[in-house]
Amino acid sequence: MIEFRDVGKRFADGTVALQSLSFTAREGEITVLVGPSGCGKTTSLRMVNRMIDPTSGSVLLEGADVADADPALLRRGIGYVIQQAGLFPHRRVLDNVATVPVLQGLSRREARVRAAELLERVGLDGALAQRYPAQLSGGQQQRVGVARALAGDAPVLLMDEPFSAVDPVVRVELQDELLRLQAELGKTILFVTHDIDEAIRLGDRVAVLRVGGRLAQFAPPDELLAHPADEFVTGFVGRDRGYRRLGFVPAASLALVDLPTGRDGAGGDGDGGGTPGEWTVLLDGDRRPAAWLAPDGGRHDLGSVYVTDAGGAVQEGAGTLRGALDAALSSPARCGVAVDADGRYRGGVAADDVLALLDRDGGREHAR
């Protein structure tokens, strides 16, 4: 647990970075700090490992004031991931990750074994272990940075805009990876970002800071979207907050409809046994949807697929009204395809049924 108690920070030049900041990052959760430039996000984060000390107030880690800890020992017990990974350019990937375990007393051999395990855990090919950071893509470097932060097996992880320097596709992949790792490891993570979408997607709780270092609102994503505290939070969250909130509204009572299905044959368009004159979902041998077969025999992409039960997998929108509505609206057949956690066909999703469910549950008010 990380606790900020009435924390203030004024730099020597008179700049006020934080004013009376108080919140608690709960154990085993991802707490996200978000806000515009100059609101004190990174300053707050760096107070936890004493890279910056507060002018007033206190920062507690597991109930103990970090001001009383030796900075070097404190930092060895906290994982830290920054923009562009911050890897040692002269060390190979494996030795970058092994750095902290060696400092903690493991032999170099033991540390490298642990490093190899962690590289696999964050989804990196073992063949990359002997490369230098400059030989990796930006996304691969960030994965190495996460692996290095996990190498000390610290219960606390600080992440300072770790995915901001990569392209949007890689960014989503890294977010997925972080959520998967968090589901397995249950770290206490303090995450800084300027991107409200990233904050809402990753955070169990989100702290919105305003310029001048004051806390504007601290709440779970659903509450933040449904009930912004003031005009500043409303503006920062954005006009489409109602649609985003659908990602937190479960669609458990949404009834699936039967769709015409056929076999996805190898002989080209129209070889799937579809129903003449209707849009047909083509399924492979494992009953996984492969494509739509149009009434004229043309083959079309499925569009978004609605996952009815994500299980242990990371799947944005799984089991929510947002996922269901997106599948229905993105389908060329005007009806979405629903699958289970293994990707097998379950049925169809009609946009009208999703909207009717919103009306019944009063969700239409939140979606405006």
- Is 163 found in the same domain as 19? yes
Determine, yes or no, domain membership for 285. yes
Mean pLDDT of 43-64: 94
Name the range with the highest mean pLDDT among 22-36, 102-116, 156-170, 344-358.
22-36
User: Where in the sequence is the domain holding 343, given as residue range(s)?
Assistant: 261-366
Among residues of the chain, what percentage have pLDDT more than 90? 39
205 and 290 in a single domain? The answer is: no
Q: Are 263 and 291 in contact (CB under 8 A)?
A: no
- pLDDT at res. 26: 95
Task: Please provide the average confidence, as pLDDT, over all residues in the chain.
Answer: 85
Output the domain CATH number for residue 118: 3.40.50.300
Given 190, 210, 240, the domain boundary residue is 240
Question: Within this chain, do residues 42 and 146 fall inside the same structural domain, yes or no?
Answer: yes
In a domain, residue 143? The reply is yes
Task: Judge whether 232 lies within some domain.
Answer: yes
- pLDDT exceeds 90 at position 32: yes
pLDDT at 287 over 70: yes
CA dist 198 → 154, 191, 212, 348 (Å): 24, 10, 22, 29
In the predicted structure, residue 364 carries a pLDDT above the cut 90: no
DSSP states along 266-299: SS-TTTT-PPTTS-EEEE-TTS-EEEEE-TTS-E
CA distances 184 to 122, 123, 177, 180, 191, Å, are 12, 14, 11, 7, 18
Instruction: Look up the pTM and report it.
Output: 0.76
Indicate whether 120 and 223 sit together in one domain. Answer: yes
Q: In this predicted structure, what is the pLDDT of residue 363?
A: 45
Residues 265 and 180 in one domain: no
Question: Is the domain of 218 the same as that of 275?
Answer: no
Residues 109 and 205 in one domain: yes
The alpha-helical segments, DSSP class H, found in the chain are 41-48, 71-76, 93-103, 108-121, 138-150, 168-185, 196-202, 221-226, 231-237, 241-245, 321-330, 351-361, 363-366
Look at residue 191 in the predicted model and tell me its pLDDT: 95
How far is residue 247's CA from residue 268's CA, in Å, rounded to a whole number? 37
Question: Does residue 185 fall inside a structural domain?
Answer: yes
Closest CA to 48 of 218, 190, 217, 216: 190
Within a domain: 147 = yes
The pLDDT value given to residue 362: 45
Pairing, β 2-10 against β 156-160: unpaired
Residues 226, 268 within the same domain: no
Higher pLDDT, 84 or 256: 256
- The reply to whether 54 and 164 lie within a common domain is yes
Same domain for 107 and 229? yes
Query: Is residue 255, in this structure, part of any structural domain at all?
Result: no
Which pLDDT does position 187 carry in this prediction? 92
Average pLDDT over residues 204-218: 94
**Do 197 and 286 share a domain, yes or no?**
no
* pLDDT value at residue 313: 38
Partners of 218 in beta bridges: 207
Quote the CA–CA distance of 315 and 82 in Å, as a whole number.
25
Q: What is the CATH number of the domain that holds 274?
A: 3.10.580
Residue 266 lies in a domain: yes
Residues 228, 266: one domain?
no
pLDDT at 330 over 50: yes
Comparing 12 with 358, the larger pLDDT belongs to 12
Number of domains in the chain: 2
Query: Does some domain include residue 251?
Result: no
Give 75-120 pLDDT, tens digit per residue.
888 988 887 667 888 989 999 999 888 888 889 999 999 899 888 8
**Does residue 277 surpass a pLDDT of 90?**
no
